[in-house]
Amino acid sequence: MRFREQQQRRRKLAELSKKGAAAGAAASPDSLHIQLIELENDVAKLNALQRRIDRTAMKRDVLLPKWMPVTQRYLDSGKVFKNLVFACCIVWLFDVDELGQALQWADIAIEQGQDTPENIKRDFAHFTADAVLEWAQTIAPQGQSVEPYFSDTFERVKSAWCINEELTAKYYKFAGLQLLRAKDGKPLVKAVVDAGVLQEADSLLEQAETFYTNIGVGTMRKNIAARLRKLEQDA
């Protein structure tokens, strides 16, 4: 999704959340038990939808405007407890490509030690890293920017989160390939004329291979080496 469209959707979502928060402020204090029953009913309705496009629309237009204010009140309270509403909202935000808000809340969830919903068999660090990488791998080949979300998450993968070797390697591989992409989004070693860029890309791919031997960067590294030799000969 293009950046301008994401901005428009974020503004709309923020407006809906403010309206819901204002209504919630005038109501009686939230009952976690009642919330969980209502959330369970909503999830059942969501799962009953057969088409992915319909599930995405329900998350974007119904569930997030309804449950984000509840999550915001939880965060504003300063209390920390296992909160399934919070967890579901993060997952739904990723599902509708609201990565800015999703990453902000995912950071908090990881810090709080929140569990992911039971249908997700990974912790929030791995889920978040997977979600951002999948998104980046979808839009980068289309020539669209993956920033700032990819780089922000890559920094967390490298230094803050304890991510398994294979997923870490995938991040290094993607970062290396990003340096080689032409305007159409395809990695094209022959189009790169800057030896420094080629060396940086090769270093990232080498690190990917160090983390996970079968990451599949051997051919690309050979192409980079050949390109560097060609540039040196032409200099």
Output the six-digit token pair for 51. 């088409």
Q: What per-residue confidence (pLDDT) applies to 235? A: 72
Distances from the Cα of 87 to the Cαs of 23, 94, 171, in angstroms? 22, 11, 24
181 pairs with which residues across the strands?
187
Q: What per-residue confidence (pLDDT) applies to 234? A: 87
Q: What would the DSSP string read from start to end of 90-109? A: HHHHHHTT-HHHHHHHHHHH
Q: How far apart are CA 230 and CA 235, in angstroms?
A: 9
Output the six-digit token pair for 126. 């791995």
Q: Are 184 and 143 in contact (CB under 8 A)?
A: yes
Three-state secondary-structure class, residue 131: helix
Q: Provide φ and ψ at 181, rounded to 5°.
A: -70, 135
Q: Provide φ and ψ at 219, rounded to 5°.
A: -65, -45
Helix axes 64-77, 84-95, angle to 10 degrees: 130
Q: What per-residue confidence (pLDDT) applies to 31? A: 82
Q: What per-residue confidence (pLDDT) applies to 23? A: 40
Q: How far apart are CA 134 and CA 92, in angstroms?
A: 15
Helix (H) or strand (E) holding 25: helix 3-26
Q: How far apart are CA 158 and CA 197, in angstroms?
A: 20
Q: Are 193 and 167 in contact (CB under 8 A)?
A: no
Establish how many alpha carbons lie within 13 A of residue 132's alpha carbon, considering only the half-sphere containing its beta carbon: 32
Among 138, 190, 185, 192, CA closest to 1: 138
199 pairs with which residues across the strands?
none
Q: What per-residue confidence (pLDDT) applies to 42? A: 98
Q: Are 10 and 98 in contact (CB under 8 A)?
A: yes
Q: How far apart are CA 86 and CA 75, in angstroms?
A: 9
- Spell out the per-residue pLDDT of the chain, length 235, in tens: 455 555 556 565 555 454 444 444 333 445 888 999 999 999 999 999 999 999 999 999 999 999 999 999 999 999 999 999 999 999 999 999 999 999 999 999 999 999 999 999 999 999 999 999 999 999 999 999 999 999 999 999 999 999 999 999 999 999 999 999 988 888 999 989 999 999 999 999 999 999 999 999 999 999 999 999 999 998 7
Q: What per-residue confidence (pLDDT) applies to 32? A: 85
